[in-house]
């Protein structure tokens, strides 16, 4: 069963995701990032190349020839999530999660969502929670401001 972890109250969604990706990388965990918005993917790419200041987090597209040896893979389309090179853990940075995306997410052991303070973003996240629960995923919440809850 897929375990969904919602990190909420992030000051900025992409930057908080990058920090969590770096933490996963230092723990030796490979990650896939579902990021269908090209502008958001470009922004995240820049952050990962520039941080930490004395290095970078190796990442590329799941379709890249370097994907097999890269710990963080970007997937911009649902079909890319089905690539066998994808890690067992996925970050979802999409705004919507249609049924085909949820079916693709079912192959992952962990699904991570990062939610910022914007009310419309929070409402879309609540809808995703309902969809994930309906699909049988377990959901856990981590408040980046400090509080931890499970459901």
Q: Domain containing 9 — which CATH number?
A: 3.40.50.10110
Residues of the chain with pLDDT under 70: 52, 147-151
pLDDT at 151: 53
- Rounded Cα–Cα distance for residues 24 and 133 (Å): 25
Whole-model pTM above 0.85? yes
pLDDT at 142: 95
What is the three-class DSSP state of 73?
A: strand
Number of domains, the chain? 1
Residue 23 lies in domain: 3-150
pLDDT at 148: 43
Strand partners, 110: 3, 89
pLDDT at 2: 94
Q: What are residue 95's phi and psi, to 5 degrees?
A: -80, -35
Angle (CA) 67 68 71, round 5°: 70
Q: What are residue 117's phi and psi, to 5 degrees?
A: -85, -10
pLDDT at 150: 52
What is the three-class DSSP state of 119?
A: helix
128 contact partners, CB below 8 Å, separation of at least 6: 92, 97, 113
What's the number of CA atoms in the CB half-sphere (13 Å) around residue 90? 29
pLDDT at 98: 83
Q: What are residue 104's phi and psi, to 5 degrees?
A: -65, -40
């Amino acid at each position: 069963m897929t375990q969904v972890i919602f990190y909420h109250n992030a000051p900025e969604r992409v930057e908080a995701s990058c920090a969590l990706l770096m933490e996963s990388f230092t723990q030796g965990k490979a990650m896939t990032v579902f990021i269908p918005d090209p502008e958001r993917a470009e922004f995240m790419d820049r952050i990962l190349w520039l941080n930490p200041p004395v290095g970078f987090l190796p990442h590329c597209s799941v379709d890249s020839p370097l994907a097999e040896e890269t710990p963080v893979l970007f997937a911009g389309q649902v079909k890319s999530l089905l690539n066998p090179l994808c890690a067992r853990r996925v970050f979802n940075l999409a705004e919507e999660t249609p049924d085909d995306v949820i079916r693709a997410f079912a192959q992952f052991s962990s699904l991570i969502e990062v939610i910022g303070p914007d009310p419309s973003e929070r409402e879309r996240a609540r809808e995703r929670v309902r969809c994930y629960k309906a699909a049988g995923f377990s959901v856990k919440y981590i408040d980046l401001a400090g509080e931890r809850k499970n459901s």
